[in-house]
């Protein structure tokens, strides 16, 4: 999905990225991609906002061509879209209906993928899962960076399960949804609780015990609980009046866009 997709996506890095340039060598497209991705998921570029390529080129000190290429990659991830003769805009946030549809699809695939993973995960996958479980234990509730670290672990766990299922098409389908990117963008700024840590632990333990029934059930229960949390976040947003100070205070730096459709 990324020009150079060796590394798993790091939400923590994206949050910490801010205006600083990373120090490791990258191609200009990768550099532009990462900067833009950071701006889009942290909503420095607000949902629906026009993305001015010339202004970005000046701000990032990168020429326009790599920025255009990066935007094309982001378009494939449905984070930006192009309108003829107008240019690029940041995608809207997912609607409540879209989130529910996304979870309905995940429920069809991921519990079964977890059952298969319990049966066929190799030693490397099991090692990676055990390591991830340890890392996720250390994630605390709290600020945006903590949430980013949680989201990163979450994305890695679901990707690991998908790949360990041994079914390439299942893995591609799950990865192709870019679920975690969109959920992260949606929940960023809400300092979402990391209740899912326990649920993840249950999934990982079932996988390490090579128990397909328990793994399938744990994944199903986790997705149900996740969907409920997302729905609660929507309900919370809808309760806020349109003149909420959160809205105008952040507008200048590309705050969270409210749904108006
Ligand atoms: Zn999860």
pLDDT tens, position by position, 136-193 = 877 766 666 777 777 778 888 999 999 999 999 999 998 888 888 788 777 766 555 5
Ligand 1 centre to CA of 18 (Å) is: 26
Residue 68's DSSP bridge partners are none
Are 164 and 46 found together in one domain? no
- CA dist., res. 25 & res. 22, Å (int): 8
How far, in Å, from the CA of 105 to the mean position of ligand 1? Answer: 15
* 51-62: average pLDDT: 91
- Whether residue 215 sits in one domain with residue 108: yes
Q: State yes or no: pLDDT of 75 exceeds 70.
A: yes
Task: List the alpha helices (DSSP H) in the chain.
Answer: 11-17, 28-41, 53-60, 64-76, 96-120, 123-137, 144-164, 168-176, 179-187, 196-208, 212-239, 245-251
50 in Cβ contact with 87 (< 8 Å) = yes
Q: Comparing 38-42, 67-71, 179-183, which segment has the lowest mean pLDDT?
A: 179-183
How many Å separate Cα 50 from the centre of its chain? 22
Higher pLDDT, 253 or 155: 155
- Kindly calculate the radius of gyration of the chain based on its CA atoms and give it in whole angstroms: 19
- In this structure, the answer to whether residues 31 and 110 fall within a common structural domain is no
201-240 pLDDT, tens per residue?
999 999 999 999 999 999 999 999 989 888 888 888 788 7
Residues 192 and 215 in one domain: yes
Would you say residue 169 lies in a domain? yes
Give the pLDDT of residue 76: 86
- If we measure between CA atoms, which residue out of 107, 123, 130 comes closest to residue 216? 107
Q: Does residue 24 register a pLDDT over 90?
A: no
- The rounded Å distance from CA 174 to ligand 1 centre is 13
The verdict on 70 and 23 lying in the same domain is yes
Compute the mean pLDDT over every residue in the chain, rounded to the nearest whole number: 81
Query: How far does the centroid of ligand 1 lie from the alpha carbon of residue 150, in Å?
Result: 9
In a domain? residue 246: no
Query: Same structural domain for residues 118 and 213?
Result: yes
pLDDT value of residue 158: 93
Residue 244 lies in a domain: no
Per-residue DSSP letter, 23: S
Question: With 60 as the cut, is the pLDDT of residue 71 above it?
Answer: yes
Q: How far is the CA of 54 from the centre of ligand 1 (A)?
A: 38
Whether residues 119 and 231 fall in one domain: yes
Q: In angstroms, what is the span from residue 157 Cα to ligand 1's centroid? A: 7
Provide the CATH number for the domain around residue 110.
1.20.120.530
Cα–ligand 1 centroid distance for 222 (angstroms): 7
CA of 238 to the centre of ligand 1 (A): 24
Strand order in the sheet with 87-90: 50-51, 87-90, 80-83
CA of 37 to the centre of ligand 1 (A): 21
Residue 50, H or E segment: strand 50-51
- Residue 120 belongs to some domain of the structure: yes
Tell me the backbone φ, ψ of residue 89, rounded to 5 degrees.
-130, 155
Q: How far is the CA of 223 from the centre of ligand 1 (A)?
A: 7
Residue with tokens 């890392």: 135
CA of 88 to the centre of ligand 1 (A): 31
Distance CA 179, CA 193 (A): 18
**Domain assignment present for 46:** yes
What is the predicted pLDDT for the residue at 187?
A: 73
Q: How confident is the model at residue 114 (pLDDT cuts 50, 70, 90)?
A: very high
Q: How many residues comprise the chain?
A: 261
Same domain, 80 and 135: no
| Dist. CA 161–CA 70, nearest whole Å | 29
109: left (phi over 0), alpha (psi -120 to 50) or beta: alpha
Same domain assignment for residues 166 and 83: no
Beta bridge partners of 29: none
**Ligand 1 midpoint to CA 224 (Å):** 10
Do 56 and 129 lie in a common domain? no
**Are residues 169 and 122 part of one domain?**
yes
Write the DSSP string, 155-221. HHHHHHHHHHTS-HHHHHHHHHTTHHHHHHHHHTTTT---THHHHHHHHHHHHHTT-HHHHHHHHHH
Number of domains in the chain: 2
Angstrom distance (rounded) from CA 72 to CA 236: 33
**Distance (Å) from CA 4 to ligand 1 centroid:** 25
Ligand 1 centroid to residue 260 C-alpha, Å:
28
Q: How far is the CA of 79 from the centre of ligand 1 (A)?
A: 21
Report CA(226)–ligand 1 centroid distance (Å).
Answer: 7
Shared domain for 159 and 232, answered yes or no, is: yes
The pLDDT of residue 120 is above 90: yes
200 CA from centroid of ligand 1 (Å): 6
Q: Which of 34-38, 83-87, 116-120 has the highest mean pLDDT?
A: 116-120
Parent domain of 48: 11-90
- Residue 76 Cα to ligand 1 midpoint, Å, equals 23
Ligand 1 center from residue 156 Cα (angstroms) = 9
Measured in angstroms, how far is the CA atom of residue 258 from the centroid of ligand 1?
25
247 is a domain residue: no
Q: What is the model's pTM?
A: 0.74
Residue 117 and residue 130: Cα distance in Å, rounded?
14
């Amino acid at each position: 999905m990324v020009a150079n997709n060796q590394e798993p996506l790091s939400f923590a890095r994206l949050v910490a990225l801010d205006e600083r340039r990373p120090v490791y060598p990258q191609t200009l497209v990768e550099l532009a991609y990462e900067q833009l991705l950071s701006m889009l998921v942290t909503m420095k570029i607000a949902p629906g906002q026009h993305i001015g390529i010339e202004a970005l080129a000046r701000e990032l000190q990168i020429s326009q061509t790599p920025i255009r290429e990066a935007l094309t990659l982001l378009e494939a991830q449905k984070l930006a879209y192009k309108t003829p003769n107008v240019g690029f805009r940041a995608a809207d946030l997912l609607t409540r209906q879209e989130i529910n549809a996304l979870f309905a699809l995940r429920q069809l695939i991921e519990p079964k993928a977890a059952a298969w993973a319990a049966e066929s995960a190799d030693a490397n996958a099991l090692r990676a899962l055990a390591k991830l479980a340890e890392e996720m234990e250390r994630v605390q509730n709290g600020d945006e960076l903590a949430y980013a670290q949680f989201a990163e672990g979450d994305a890695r766990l679901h990707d690991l399960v998908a790949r360990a299922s041994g079914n390439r098409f299942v893995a591609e389908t799950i990865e192709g949804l870019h679920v975690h990117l969109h959920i992260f963008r949606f929940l960023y700024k809400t300092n979402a609780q990391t209740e899912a840590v326990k649920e993840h632990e249950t999934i990982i333990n079932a996988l390490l015990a090579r128990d397909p029934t328990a793994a399938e059930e744990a994944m199903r229960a986790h997705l149900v609980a996740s969907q409920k949390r997302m729905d609660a976040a929507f309900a919370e947003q809808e309760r806020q009046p349109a003149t909420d100070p959160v809205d105008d205070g952040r507008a200048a730096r590309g705050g969270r866009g409210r749904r108006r459709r």
